[in-house]
Chains A and B, each alone.
Chain A
Amino acid sequence: MNRKLFSFPGGIHPPENKLQSLNLPIQSVPLPKRLILPLQQHIGAPAKAIVNVGDQVKKGQCLAQPQGFVSASIHAPTSGAIAEIADHEIPHPSGLASLCIVLQPDGEDSWCEAQPIADYSAAKPAELVDKIRQSGITGMGGAGFPTSVKLSPPADSKIESLIINAVECEPYITADDMLMRERAAGVIEGALILNHILQTRETLIAIEDNKPDAIAAMRRAVEALSESHNSQPHNIEIVVIPTRYPSGGEKQLIQNLTGKEVPSGKPPLHVGIVVQNTATTYAIHRAINHGEPLISRIVTLTGEALNKPGNYETLLGTPIEHLLELAGIDNQQLSRLIMGGPMMGFALDSTALPVVKTTNCLLAATNTEYPEQPPAMPCIRCGACAEACPASLLPQQLLWFSMGGELDKAEQYNVADCIECGACSYVCPSHIPLVQYYRATKGELAQRRADLIQSDHARDRFEFREERLAKEKAEKDAKRKARAEAAAKAQAAKKAAAALEAKEGGATKDSSDAKPPSDKEDVVAAALARVEAKKKAKADAAAKTQQQESS
C-alpha cells in the first residue's frame, strides 16, 4: 500500500508539542451552567432562530434553521430552557459580538427522538446530503464551510477522489489523532457514507507519520471492514504522508496525494476532488447512522498554563473558562489563549467565549512558551521565506509591496494565493510579521474591490440618471418644438389667410358689403345707434329747458 506521493514545495518542521495532550483518553465534560450558541459558526449566512426565549427544548432539537444555500442549522446540545437570544461576543478574529442563543440546561440531558437513516447504502445521495444539512454539519478543521454544499457538486462535474484530511499538521493539536485512536470505525463509516454520496473512484485517508497509533487503529478498522463487507468492496486507502507543516493544507494535501493543483480561485471540485476533515467525517457517521446532529466535538486543551492537558468531548456552546478549569488552568501563568493551533489559530481576549463547531484546540500558553516577538529587523532578502512558502510565492517581494501600499503589484505577485499558513513568518530571521502584512494587504484589496463595485454602481446610477434626465429633456423639447411648430403653422395660416384677404380685398368689397351683416356688426351698430339716440334726446331736452327758461 505504498502510494506514490508527489510532495509539495516549501514547508517547515516546527516543534510538534503533541505528546502532552495524548496522555489521557478522551475526557467527558460535566454540563456547564449555560451554553452560548452563536448563530454564525460557519462560513455563509447566519442561521435564523426558530425558538423563543422561555421555550423548553430537548437535546438535539433544532434551534435555528439555515438561511440560504450556504448556511448551517444549530441544535440544542442538551435539554433545557432558552434563556436569552441576544448579542454576545463570539470567538472570531474580529472580536465582534453576534447574535447567540443562550441555553440554560435542565440537567436531564434528555434527547428528542432521533431519526437515523437505517441503511445509508439504500438511500439516495440527495437524501443523505439533506440529512447532513439538517444535522448542521460544517467543516470542523478550521474554516467551517457547510459540508452539504461541498457534497452538492454541479451535475456535470466528475468527482474522482475523496480525501479525508486526517493530517493534523498544526503543532499541539491532537483532537483528530485521539478521535482516530478511539473511534476509527466511526470515521471509516463516515468515509463510506461520503463515498456512497459522491461515488468516487478512490477514498484516501491521509495521516501524517507522526501519529503511528492512529494509523494502526485506522488500518485495523479498514481490515475489519474488508472482512465484514465481503460482498461490498470498498476503495478506502490509508495514506501515510511525511510530517511537514502545512501538509494538511487542503491545496497542499491535494498536490501531495494526486500531483494536481487546484487552479487559483477555484474550489477543489474543479479538479474532481472533495476533501473532508476527520472530525467532520465522524460527525457525518453520527448524523446518518445515529440521527445525532452536530452538538459536540473533541477539543484539545493544551499549553503550559494547564495542569491536565488532554482531549475533551465538549458540547458546542460550552464557555471556554469551564473547560480551562477542568483542565487545571493556572490563571497567573496564562498570557495567551489561542483557538486553533499556534501557526494559524487566533488569540482570544476572553475566556467567557463559547466553544463552536470549528474549535479544534484551545492553547493556553504562558509567557515563556510564547514570548513576545523581538522588534523586526530590516529584511535582508535571505530567501528563507521563499524556501518555506508552500504556494511558491515570493514573500519578500510581497513584503515590499505590502509595506509600500503597492496593491497592484501585490496582486500581480499573487498575494491572493497566500494560504496564510505562517511558514514565512516562522522562519524569518529578522522577525518580520510577514503573513500579518499579507493579511492586511488582502484586506485592503478586498476593500478596494468592494469600493470599486460600489463606485461602479454609483457611476451606473449616475449615468442612468443623466440619461433619464436627458431623455426627459429631449421629450420636453420635442413637445415644445411640436407645440411651437403647431403655433407657427397656425400663425402662418392666419397670415396667409390675411394676406389672401388683403389681396382679394378690392375685388370683394362690394360683395362683402352686400353680404348680410354679421351678428357682431349688428350689435355694434345697434349700440352706436342707441348712443346717437340718447345724445339726440339729451340735446332735445336741453333745448327744451332753454326755451322754457327764456320764455
Chain B
Amino acid sequence: MKLAKVTSPHLHDRSDTSHVMKMVIVATLPGLAALSWFFGWGVLINLVWAWIVALGCEAIVVKIRKRPLGYYLNDYSALVTATLLGLALPPLAPWWLTLVGVGFAIIVAKHLYGGLGSNPFNPAAVGYVVLLISFPVQMSSWLPARGVEGAIPPGFIDSLKSIFPLLGNASVDIVTQATPLDQLKQRPGLTITEIWQPGSAFGRFAGVGWEWVNIGFLIGGLFLLFRKIIYWQIPVAMLGSLTVMSIIFWGGSGSEGHGSPLFHLLSGATMLCAFFIATDPVTAATSNRGRLIYGAGIGVLIYVIRVWGSYPDAAAFAVLLLNFCAPLIDYYVQPRTYGHNSGHNSDSDRSGDS
C-alpha cells in the first residue's frame, strides 16, 4: 500500500468556484422575474441567447488556447458574465447586439487578458460599454414598462421575431421609449405634476417597473450576502455614497432637481451594479478597507455621470473606472499584518522597534 506524500493542510472546505458562480446566477432570479414581468419575454430570450453566445465563445477560445474544455466550461463564469450583461440589455435588443456585446466580453475582456481571474476589467461592464458607445440607438431603445400608459409587453412570438428578424416580422409595432433616467436627463422642464401624472414613466419612487426590478436585485443581493458569497463592504459603500451624493445635490422634486435619493437607488442598474457587478472579486479591490473605498468611488461616479455627464446611466462606466483604481487602492490600504506597525513595508517596522 502506498501512502500519499502530500503537505498540509489535508482538510478542505467543500466550496468551489463553480458553486460561487451558480449562487450568483441563482441570486439574479428575483430581478430577472421583475424584468420579465414588466418588459416581457424579450428579457428571457435575450438571456438564453446571451448564454448560448457566451458558452460558444468560451468553448472556441478554450479550444484555441488548448485547455481542457469541460473543465473550463464547468466553472460557470462565462454564464455569469452572460447573465449580467443579458440583464442589462434592452429587452428587445437585436440578436447581433447581444452577440457583439457578449462576444467582446468573453473573448476580449476576459480571455485576451488571460481568462478567469486575470482580467483587470469586469467583462460584463466592458461588453455593455462597447455596445453603448457603438450602438447608442439600439442600446437606449427600451420598452415602456408594464403599467406605463398603453404599454403591454409583446408576446413570446413577437418578442422572438423582433429579436431575430430573420424569423419573420413581428405582428405588432413595438413601441420603444426612453427610460425614466433618460427622461430626467433629456427633458429638463418636467414639473412635479408632470412627473407624477398617471400613466407617465415615473412610478411611486422611481421609474415604473424599475423600482421593482431594483428591489428584485436587492433581494438577490441580500441572499448573496447571507450566503457569504459577497462581502457587504462594496454594496454598502456604493449605495451609501450614492445616497449621500443625491442628498447633497437634491434640488427639489422636479426634473431639474437631479432626482431624490430613492429615485437614484431604485433606478436603472443601481442594485444590479451594487450587488452583482461591482462585487465581482476579480476586478475589485481585495482588502476590507479597499472594498469600502472602491464601492464608495463607484457610487459617487454613478451619481456624477448620471447628473452631469452625457449618459443617462453610468454603472458600467463607474465600475470600469474603479477597476482601473483597484490595484492602486489595494497597494495603499493593505491591512496591518500581525506583529507589524503598518501594513506596508517590513523595513520601517524593523527600524521602528529596534
* A contact residues vs B (CB 8 Å cutoff): 9, 12, 14-15, 93, 95, 171, 251, 255, 261-266, 331-332, 334-338, 340, 342-351, 363, 365, 370, 372-375, 377-384, 386-387, 390-394, 396-397, 411-414, 416-417, 420, 422, 425-431, 433, 435-436, 439
Beta-carbon nearest neighbor of B230 in chain A:
A382
B339 to chain A, nearest CB (A): 4
Check B338–A426 contact: CB distance below 8 A: no
Residue from the set B282, B287, B340 with the largest chain A CB neighbour count within 10 Å: B340
How far, in angstroms, from A261 to B345 measured CA to CA in the complex? Answer: 18
Check B338–A342 contact: CB distance below 8 A: no
How far, in angstroms, from A353 to B251 measured CA to CA in the complex? Answer: 79
Question: Which residues of chain B in 1-39 are interfacial with respect to chain A, using CB atoms and an 8 Å cutoff?
Answer: 1, 3-13, 15-17, 19-20
Question: In the complex, what residues of B have CB within 8 A of residue A347's CB?
Answer: 3-8, 10
* B contact residues vs A (CB 8 Å cutoff): 1, 3-13, 15-17, 19-20, 71, 75, 77, 115-118, 231, 281-282, 284, 286-287, 330, 334-340, 343-346, 349-350, 353
Check B337–A391 contact: CB distance below 8 A: yes
Question: In the complex, what residues of A have CB within 8 A of residue B343's CB?
Answer: 392
Residue from the set B12, B77, B118, B346 with the largest chain A CB neighbour count within 10 Å: B12
A342 to chain B, nearest CB (A): 4
How far, in angstroms, from A375 to B9 measured CA to CA in the complex? Answer: 15
Beta-carbon nearest neighbor of A345 in chain B:
B8
A131 to chain B, nearest CB (A): 33
A423 to chain B, nearest CB (A): 8
How far, in angstroms, from A417 to B8 measured CA to CA in the complex? Answer: 18
How far, in angstroms, from A381 to B284 measured CA to CA in the complex? Answer: 8
How far, in angstroms, from A397 to B20 measured CA to CA in the complex? Answer: 21
Select B339's contact among A9, A15, A334, A417, beta carbons within 8 Å.
Answer: A417
Check B115–A414 contact: CB distance below 8 A: no
A85 to chain B, nearest CB (A): 27
Check A392–B337 contact: CB distance below 8 A: yes
Work out how many contacts link A and B, with CB atoms closer than 8 A: 172
Check B8–A422 contact: CB distance below 8 A: yes
Beta-carbon nearest neighbor of A262 in chain B:
B339
Q: Given known contacts A334-B3, A439-B7, is B336 in contact with A412 (CB within 8 Å)?
A: no
How far, in angstroms, from A9 to B335 measured CA to CA in the complex? Answer: 11
Q: Given known contacts A338-B10, A422-B9, A431-B16, is B281 in contact with A383 (CB within 8 Å)?
A: yes
Check A378–B117 contact: CB distance below 8 A: yes
Question: In the complex, what residues of B have CB within 8 A of residue A428's CB?
Answer: 12-13
Question: In the complex, what residues of B have CB within 8 A of residue A414's CB?
Answer: 337, 340, 346
Select B335's contact among A95, A392, A427, beta carbons within 8 Å.
Answer: A392
Q: Given known contacts A380-B117, A392-B335, A394-B334, is B9 in contact with A343 (CB within 8 Å)?
A: yes
Select B4's contact among A255, A336, A417, beta carbons within 8 Å.
Answer: A336
Beta-carbon nearest neighbor of B280 in chain A:
A380
Top 5 closest pairs, chain A to chain B, by CB:
A422-B9, A378-B117, A264-B339, A342-B11, A391-B338
Check B281–A380 contact: CB distance below 8 A: yes
Check B346–A365 contact: CB distance below 8 A: no
How far, in angstroms, from A416 to B115 measured CA to CA in the complex? Answer: 31
Check B286–A386 contact: CB distance below 8 A: yes
Check B11–A426 contact: CB distance below 8 A: yes
Q: Given known contacts A370-B11, A425-B12, A435-B9, is B231 in contact with A383 (CB within 8 Å)?
A: yes
Select A429's contact among B16, B71, B116, B350, beta carbons within 8 Å.
Answer: B16
Q: Given known contacts A255-B338, A378-B115, A390-B338, is B16 in contact with A342 (CB within 8 Å)?
A: no
Question: In the complex, what residues of B have CB within 8 A of residue A331's CB?
Answer: 1
Question: In the complex, what residues of B have CB within 8 A of residue A426's CB?
Answer: 9, 11-13
Question: In the complex, what residues of B have CB within 8 A of residue A346's CB?
Answer: 7-8
Beta-carbon nearest neighbor of A251 in chain B:
B338
A297 to chain B, nearest CB (A): 21
